[in-house]
Chain A
């Protein structure tokens, strides 16, 4: 199963990943050429708007897309294994054991007819040859670890009997049941209240640090990404348009799309009545992507060269990259962010 690997190899290597859905009349190019590495113990956030390909990229790492209607190109390596080469049995071993995932809506992700405890026990026993009693013990320890109050009683609860924040904690416990090395989180706090969101973000950060997990965190909320991520990758129309440390992206954004996204946020320091800066137009149709930069149509800085072909990836500083021809001009338009109290 887990072949030993040189410790230098990153936890996740995506090389020129493309994902095309062929079910519709026209093929939909959801991801076109994403390259990304995630080191061991590193937290990377993928941010972007609906249709940017962030969730599709994430789901590829568990091979959750319907096989017959999805074309996957490029290379996907997780913990030294070639993910695209795994067959049915190997894939089942991989899911949950090497990589697991938490979803936005735990009520849909958990099985409504089994208690939460039974689902965790099942997952542990599927992957490890332990007795039911041992698995039960581990489930209890997990519930304590994610700080669910009265854990022994809650293990007997059905998902609908728990509150939203509690369910999300239970799903995190389930995801960590088989001690995975890579945790994928798909908008895990979007459906939660701000007061609960910050609790879950802090819990994820603590677990990640204590267990040395690699985490890929998908969100549309830059604020949530800044709270947990070491690095942030911004996606637009199926490509990573900018990538860097959280600090790089917040303080020194260089891609016009990242800049526009930061500027369109309403924040407390602005005067009422000052119009928000918006991004004109709408994201492109993924079944008819333009030959050049997909953002050019909405970009105030775009030139003919931008529209002619895919702009190359420019290295701005070590580890800070942007896929744009106009990063120098864009830098001057970056917002000065005022963090709120």
Chain B
């Protein structure tokens, strides 16, 4: 296994995703009715820059995990293109097996993602052997990595997954992801099942490993505090679409999309003297089977105007490296706030 060389230079995004779409067909019910599609991911475009951590947030059903699985090519997209460092994934320059070596994933359920019949050393050494590394070398590397993630090989290498705690198992999954010397790691709710004190240990480990191996992370989580702490940029998804992408600090300080604002004010206040009095959003996240017309967020949005039910917002620049898909920010959209902003400017 050779070291992987950078192809396009530091300015070229590591991953460019254009118009990514995944529709799941609904099976017909017993009477033959009720067919349709779940628009799990619907026209998502974004870039992952070299060496950054891109956070992805959104409610359940917003398509963040489906997006991760599509990025990993664990399922075939309905439409859309994935380009990795200038090469089309699955094309002649970058066959799928080679792509998978460069992009690895860590899942939420640390137990379900390990083979219960393999010792953790064998689990970590398995991937490199598939990619042609001789067994002894693969095992030696596995032991190095286990040591690196804080599991002394002398004590742990021969153990089976059920003999470890959740935090230890997640360390094994991280070691396994790194065994192939990938350039990018997708962390799909990787710390969500852990206790807070263990979560902090694993987050510190991820930060150290990123610096040591020059990794790029896509960090998916529903915990906004953790995403803010970990990410350079954050992408907010709503009902299978991108609502907002921006630098972490700017997005948390001054969210451009009303949905991002509502999401942020849903976080518990941590202040017993100023508890939250009104829930920022009513109701549950709606169903991606039959998304609302126009802007998909308009039925729950505090700023919604009649135009929001008719017109689909396009991505508009709202600040440096900061875009949002909201008619309020779209000049000429006909939204009262956009009209007012235009009048003020003139």
Enumerate chain A interface residues (CB-CB to B < 8 A): 49-50, 149, 163-166, 193-199, 201-202, 220-224, 226-227, 245-247, 250, 260-261, 264-268, 270, 272-273, 275-279, 282, 337, 339-341
List 14 interface pairs A-B (beta carbons < 8 Å), by A numbering. A49-B195, A165-B284, A193-B284, A194-B266, A195-B266, A196-B285, A197-B268, A198-B266, A202-B277, A222-B270, A226-B275, A261-B196, A266-B200, A273-B207
Compute how far the CA of A226 lies from the CA of B268 in the bound complex, rounded to whole angstroms: 8
Indicate with 1 or 0, residue by residue over B255-280, a CB within 8 angstroms of chain A CB atoms: 00000001111111111111111111
Which DSSP category, helix, strand, loop or mixed, fits chain B's interface? loop
Q: What's the least CB distance linking B156 to chain A, in Å?
A: 13
Q: With a CB–CB cut-off of 8 A, which chain B residues contact A193?
A: 59-60, 222, 284-285
A264 touches B269 (CB 8 A): no
Compute how far the CA of A222 lies from the CA of B223 in the bound complex, rounded to whole angstroms: 13
* Nearest B residue (CB) for A266: B229
Known A195-B59, A221-B268, A340-B267: A268·B222 in contact at CB below 8 Å = no
Q: With a CB–CB cut-off of 8 A, which chain B residues contact A272?
A: 229-232, 248
Is B135 part of the binding interface, using a Cβ–Cβ cutoff of 8 Å?
no
- Cross-chain contact of A265 among B60, B196, B266, B277 (Cβ < 8 A): B196
B207 touches A275 (CB 8 A): yes
Is B224 part of the binding interface, using a Cβ–Cβ cutoff of 8 Å?
yes
Known A266-B228, A272-B230, A272-B232: A194·B279 in contact at CB below 8 Å = no
Is B1 part of the binding interface, using a Cβ–Cβ cutoff of 8 Å?
no
Known A195-B263, A198-B279, A227-B269: A164·B197 in contact at CB below 8 Å = no
Q: With a CB–CB cut-off of 8 A, which chain A residues contact B226?
A: 266
Known A268-B252, A277-B200, A278-B201: A223·B270 in contact at CB below 8 Å = yes
Q: With a CB–CB cut-off of 8 A, which chain B residues contact A276?
A: 200, 203-204, 229
Compute how far the CA of A50 lies from the CA of B193 in the bound complex, rounded to whole angstroms: 11
Compute how far the CA of A250 lies from the CA of B232 in the bound complex, rounded to whole angstroms: 29
Is B310 part of the binding interface, using a Cβ–Cβ cutoff of 8 Å?
no
Known A227-B275, A260-B197, A261-B196: A198·B229 in contact at CB below 8 Å = no
Q: What's the least CB distance linking A247 to chain B, in Å?
A: 5
Compute how far the CA of A335 lies from the CA of B280 in the bound complex, rounded to whole angstroms: 29
Known A194-B222, A198-B280, A272-B248: A264·B200 in contact at CB below 8 Å = yes
Compute how far the CA of A265 lies from the CA of B283 in the bound complex, rounded to whole angstroms: 28
Q: With a CB–CB cut-off of 8 A, which chain A residues contact B78?
A: none
20 new A-B pairs (CB below 8 Å) besides A149-B283, A202-B276, A272-B232? Answer: A49-B198, A165-B284, A194-B59, A195-B263, A195-B280, A196-B285, A198-B276, A221-B268, A226-B270, A245-B272, A250-B270, A267-B228, A268-B229, A272-B229, A276-B200, A276-B203, A278-B197, A278-B200, A279-B200, A339-B274
Q: With a CB–CB cut-off of 8 A, which chain B residues contact A163?
A: 284
Q: What's the least CB distance linking B51 to chain A, in Å?
A: 13
Enumerate chain B interface residues (CB-CB to A < 8 A): 59-60, 165-167, 195-201, 203-204, 207, 222, 224-226, 228-232, 248, 252, 262-285
Compute how far the CA of A337 lies from the CA of B231 in the bound complex, rounded to whole angstroms: 21
- Cross-chain contact of B197 among A149, A224, A245, A279 (Cβ < 8 A): A279
Q: With a CB–CB cut-off of 8 A, which chain B residues contact A267?
A: 225, 228-229, 270
A226 touches B222 (CB 8 A): no
- Cross-chain contact of A164 among B60, B263, B270 (Cβ < 8 A): B60
A195 touches B230 (CB 8 A): no
Q: What's the least CB distance linking B221 to chain A, in Å?
A: 10
Q: With a CB–CB cut-off of 8 A, which chain A residues contact B283?
A: 149, 165
A194 touches B263 (CB 8 A): yes
Q: With a CB–CB cut-off of 8 A, which chain A residues contact B60?
A: 164, 193
Q: With a CB–CB cut-off of 8 A, which chain B residues contact A270?
A: 229
Q: With a CB–CB cut-off of 8 A, which chain B residues contact A250?
A: 270-272
Compute how far the CA of A276 lies from the CA of B226 in the bound complex, rounded to whole angstroms: 11
Compute how far the CA of A15 lies from the CA of B267 in the bound complex, rounded to whole angstroms: 35
Q: With a CB–CB cut-off of 8 A, which chain B residues contact A247?
A: 272-273
Compute how far the CA of A337 lies from the CA of B270 in the bound complex, rounded to whole angstroms: 8
Known A220-B196, A341-B264: A194·B284 in contact at CB below 8 Å = no
Known A164-B60, A198-B268, A272-B230: A266·B207 in contact at CB below 8 Å = no
Compute how far the CA of A29 lies from the CA of B222 in the bound complex, rounded to whole angstroms: 34
Q: With a CB–CB cut-off of 8 A, which chain B residues contact A341?
A: 264-265
B281 touches A340 (CB 8 A): no
Known A193-B60, A195-B285, A276-B204: A50·B269 in contact at CB below 8 Å = no
Known A194-B224, A266-B226, A282-B165: A339·B197 in contact at CB below 8 Å = no
Compute how far the CA of A275 lies from the CA of B201 in the bound complex, rounded to whole angstroms: 9
Task: Name the residue among A220, A270, A340 with the largest chain B CB count within 10 angstroms.
Answer: A340
Q: With a CB–CB cut-off of 8 A, which chain A residues contact B199?
A: 264
Closest 4 CB pairs of A and B: A223-B268, A266-B229, A339-B271, A264-B200
Q: With a CB–CB cut-off of 8 A, which chain B residues contact A222?
A: 270
Task: Name the residue among B199, B262, B268 with the largest chain A CB count within 10 angstroms.
Answer: B268
B225 touches A266 (CB 8 A): yes
